[in-house]
Amino acid sequence: MRDLVGAALRRARLRQGRTLRDVADQAQVSLPYLSEIERGRKEPSSEVLAAVCRALGLQLVDLVGALHVDLTSTTTVSVRATAKWGQPRRGGGAVLTLLAA
């Protein structure tokens, strides 16, 4: 989840043509910390996340919407058919892969 949050924040910042320093200063967080958030290395508190969103002119709902799009466009679900609860069919059963749209 950290990777998705960081990537969404970075995309928003780059779309605006802004630097890490500019956004970090406006959000009142350190530049290295914002960089680590964007790279998915740190998980920001709700307060820091709100401050970064404000600095980017976003509402938290905008960020959540971006995360929803990212999750639904990249999620792969594998389902294995079974003959009985928890027991695979002979031959290992059929595997169906669904891509969330």
Q: What is the pLDDT of residues 67-79, one digit of tens each?
A: 888 788 765 555 4
Domain ranges, ordered by start, for the chain: 2-74
What's the chain's average pLDDT? 81
Distance of CA 27 to the CA centre of its chain: 20
Does the pLDDT of residue 7 top 80, yes or no?
A: yes
Q: Is the distance from CB of 78 to CB of 96 less than 8 angstroms?
A: yes
Q: What is the pTM of this model?
A: 0.68
Residue type, 71: L
Q: Which fold has domain 2-74?
A: 434 Repressor (Amino-terminal Domain) (1.10.260)
